[in-house]
Structure 1
């Protein structure tokens, strides 16, 4: 039987506490004292497990980033056509992080990368991973003849990630609804990839139906 690493368990509990506070009170509210209180610990005890408040926050953002990418991976399966995969990833990218505050946490700390090199590295790694996911789908669709890209595939992938990031911010701020955002994402992708918009949007609608019914 594998030995439980109690220190690592405690570290994970502290990270979860930091995520909970950041989602509830924002980045500015996720102080060392607030995180410690959420974890049921004294502030100085928390620093036994992490060297600094910045290290805790970096771990929390990294964990949120990892969970977001897991959600993208969970949205697809090998039997999907490139069009269905594209629709699933776009649907997951714009909505999957909203149900458990993953997207909210990532956006709370997004401005920090302007000043914090570690936060910038985490955000850059997430963006690169998102781009690779889109690029792989675009390449597969181009090989199969489903897609006829109007731009370099790398540029399309970057554009889709940037559009997705901006639109999710609108959803989080309450200035746009998920259906509107999905329609914009699908319409843009279809135009860039030479796809009939209706076919892609139909796949996205089916993905939303499955998600609402707990099938994803």
Structure 2
């Protein structure tokens, strides 16, 4: 039986506490003292497990990024047709992180990459991974004859990720609904890949991401 590493467990608890505080009170509210209180520890005790407050935040953002990518991977079932996979990943990319605050945490710390090299690394790796998911689907759809890309596939992948990133911020801010965002991204993807928008939007609706009538 594998030995339980109590230090690793405690680190995970601290990361979970940091995520909870950031989702509830924002990046500014996720102070060392607030995270320690959420974890039921003294602030100096928390630093026994992490070298600094910045290290805790980086671990929390990395964990949130990893969870988001897991949801994308779960959606991108290789047994589906490329068009169905595209619909599934659009749904996951725009809504998967909303049900458990993953997206909110990532967006809270997004501006930090302007000044923090570690935060920038995490965010850049997340974006690259999102792009790879789309690129693989686009390549598969092009090979099968389902897609007729109007631009270089890498540019299409980057465009779709950028649109998702900006539009999900609107959902979090309450200025747009998930349905509206799914409609926009679905229509954009269809136009860029030579698909009938109605067909792609229907697949998105089947995945549980209902979209408004055009």
**Secondary structure at the residue paired with 2:41?**
coil
The residue aligned with 2:135 is: 135
Structure 1 runs, 4 residues or longer, greater than 2 Å off = none
**Stretches of structure 2 lacking an aligned partner (at least 5 in a row):** none
Match status 1:198 vs 2:198:
yes
Q: In 1, distance between residues paired with 2:114 and 2:197?
A: 36
Q: Deviations over 1:51-93 (max 9, x none)?
A: 0000000000000000000011111322100000000001001
Distance in structure 2 (CA, Å) of the matches to 1:177 and 1:62: 27
User: Could you list the per-position Cα deviations for residues 10-60 of structure 1 after superposition, in whole angstroms to 9, with x for gaps in the alignment?
Assistant: 000000000000000000000000000000000000000000000000000
2: CA distance between counterparts of 1:165 and 1:78?
A: 24
User: What are the within-5 Å matches in structure 2 for residues 63-212 of structure 1?
Assistant: 63-208=63-208
Partner in structure 2 of residue 214 of structure 1 = none
How far, CA to CA, are the matches of 1:39 and 1:61 in structure 2? 17
The answer for the alignment partner of 1:9 in structure 2 is 9
Q: Give the root-mean-square deviation of aligned CA atoms.
A: 0.9
Distance in structure 1 (CA, Å) of the matches to 2:154 and 2:79: 24
Q: Is the 8 A contact 2:94 2:178 kept in 1?
A: yes
Contact 2:182-2:209 at 8 Å conserved across structures: no
TM-score (norm 1): 0.96
- The separation in 1 between residues aligned to 2:46 and 2:71, in whole angstroms, is 29
**TM value normalised by structure 2:** 0.97
Cα shift at 1:208: 1.2
Give, in whole Å, the separation in 1 of the partners of 2:43 and 2:209. 45
